[in-house]
Structure formats: structure tokens, C-alpha cells
Chain A
Amino acid sequence: NAGVTQTPKFRVLKTGQSMTLLCAQDMNHEYMYWYRQDPGMGLRLIHYSVGEGTTAKGEVPDGYNVSRLKKQNFLLGLESAAPSQTSVYFCASSPNSGTGYSTEAFFGQGTRLTVV
């Protein structure tokens, strides 16, 4: 059982280049999230989605765009990468908290992105 899968695992970009990070989940979760993790800053929410076709801004959305065209996929785009976007990116998914089931977020393995 795959759970949450992030692609790629590592990437080095030059300043100004663009790229898309893919997150795929096979648990039929409604909610999906993108976080970035930087030393001393914890995990900060970039964007999130509460269902197919919806997206919303989190704590640090600038410089990123997202799309959720299919329920199982959540894409994070960097249109013009900057060194400040060097980070580890985590995708997560969770069921709706109204389901009555466990509502923790399930995480992908992370993507280490370096912008030079």
C-alpha cells in the first residue's frame, strides 16, 4: 500500500527555473496539504486543498501555485525558483474531520529541493 507518494525525491534547480512537485495519494482522502520544512521553523503550510478542484493559501504561499484537478493528486509549482525556496517539501493527506475516523495527516517521504 503506497499511501502518499511524492515525486521527485531530490532536485537541484537553477534560479529562475520552474518545476512541479507531484503528490499522489491512494487513500481517497479529501484533504491534501503542502508544507515546507526549514531548520528552526518547523513545518509551514504552503497551500492546501479541501477537495477536488479546490485550493487555498496557507501560511507561506508566495512564490508557489497548486492545482488539484484529480482527487488523488496535488501538484505544487514553482514558476521562477529562488534560493529562498531551498527546503524540504512535504505533502500530506487526511480524511475530512467529520468522518468520525482518525483524522491525522499522512505524509509523503519528502522532496529535498535545492535552488542554486
Chain B
Amino acid sequence: AQKITQTQPGMFVQEKEAVTLDCTYDTSDPSYGLFWYKQPSSGEMIFLIYQGSYDQQNATEGRYSLNFQKARKSANLVISASQLGDSAMYFCAMREVFRDDKIIFGKGTRLHILP
């Protein structure tokens, strides 16, 4: 069974609109972390945002926020006021502390921002 599920292979969004990228996860570990990474066409992996399983507040980093719904096991990435430079592949990832701390990734969502 997939541990990280990203159900949107691709998305097209108009510039300046907000966009939500979906991520659901599956774990029985009480202590885990959730991450989002951006991969532009140049190929590097860029860390965006982190949410710990015990964090009470949703994480925010500039235009990025993580909509963490623990009971639903979802960790959606919200990008406000999208820009052309946001066009990239986005990966959701999870780290399970009691499963060797290994980090597992989803299949990704390719986001296209339209001018």
C-alpha cells in the first residue's frame, strides 16, 4: 500500500490564483513529519515546508502553507498568489520516526502556472 498518495498528476492554474496540492499519508507511527519539496525543470530538490505530527498549528513559510488534517491523514500544500516561477514538480514526503526515520516520497504533482 502506498504510504504517500498524491492524486493529482498534473494541474493547470492561472497566475495569481491560489492552488492546493493534495497529499494523503498512511502511518501507524505516532511520531512523524511531513514535507513538501519543489523540483523545477532544472532538477534540483528544494525543501519548502515541514509539519510535525505533534504540531498544533499549520506550518507556514511565506506563500506556502500546509493544511494539516491529522484525523483525515492529509497534508495539503497551499500556494497563495501563484507565480510563473511556481511551475514545477511538487513532492509530498513523510518521515516516520519509529520506522528508522526513513523518508518516503509520493509520486508528485506537476504544476503549470498559466500567464
Q: Bound state CA distance, A12 and B57, in angstroms?
A: 47
Residue of A nearest to B96 (CB): A97
The count of chain A contact residues (Cβ–Cβ below 8 Å) is 29
- B103/A96 in contact, CB under 8 A: no
- Known contacts A88-B43, A97-B33, A103-B33: A40-B100 contact under CB 8 Å: no
Q: Which single member of A31, A50, A96, A104 contacts B35 (CB below 8 Å)?
A: A104
A45-B102, A104-B35, A107-B45 are known contacts. Are A40 and B107 too (CB-CB below 8 A)?
A: yes
Interface size on B, residues (CB 8 A): 23
B105 to A44, Cβ gap below 8 A?
yes
| Cα distance A45–B108 in the bound complex, in angstroms | 14
Verify B101–A50 contact, CB threshold 8 A.
yes
Does B104 reach chain A (CB closer than 8 Å)?
A: yes
Residues of B within 8 A of A74 (CB): none
**What are the interface flags for B12-56 relative to A under an 8 Å C-beta threshold, 1 for contact and 0 otherwise?**
000000000000000000010101000000011101001000000
**Chain A residues near B91 (CB-CB < 8 A):** 42-43
B107–A97 CB distance below 8 A:
no
A38's nearest neighbour on chain B, judged by CB, is B107
Q: Contact check, B101 vs A45: say whether CB atoms are below 8 A apart.
A: no
Given A43-B91, A103-B33, A103-B95, residue A109 in contact with residue B44 (CB < 8 A): yes
Provide a sorted-by-A list of 30 A–B residue pairs whose CB atoms are within 8 angstroms: A31-B101, A35-B105, A40-B107, A41-B107, A42-B6, A42-B108, A43-B93, A43-B105, A44-B105, A45-B102, A45-B105, A48-B100, A50-B100, A59-B104, A92-B45, A92-B103, A94-B103, A97-B31, A97-B95, A97-B97, A97-B101, A98-B97, A102-B50, A103-B95, A104-B50, A105-B103, A106-B47, A107-B44, A109-B43, A110-B43
Taking Cβ atoms with an 8 Å cutoff, the residues of A that contact B are: 31, 33, 35, 40-45, 48, 50, 56, 58-59, 88, 90, 92, 94, 96-98, 102-107, 109-110
